Amino acid sequence: MHYYGSLLEYTLIMECFSNSQHVLYSG
């Protein structure tokens, strides 16, 4: 269960990182 939570957190972090990258590229 803890592993699943960590995986979900990792996915959210990567999504945020990807979004920030798109902002940098478009900015």
The model carries a pTM of: 0.51
Cα–Cα distance measured from residue 3 to residue 16, given in angstroms and rounded to the nearest whole number: 20
For the chain, what's the residue count?
27
Nearest Cα residue to 10 out of 20, 18, 22, 21? 18
pLDDT digits (tens, 9 = 90+) for 1-27: 567 889 999 999 999 888 887 766 665
Q: If you search the block for the tokens 């940098």, which residue do you land on?
A: 24
Q: Amino acid letter at 26?
A: S
Q: Which tokens sit at 12? A: 């959210």
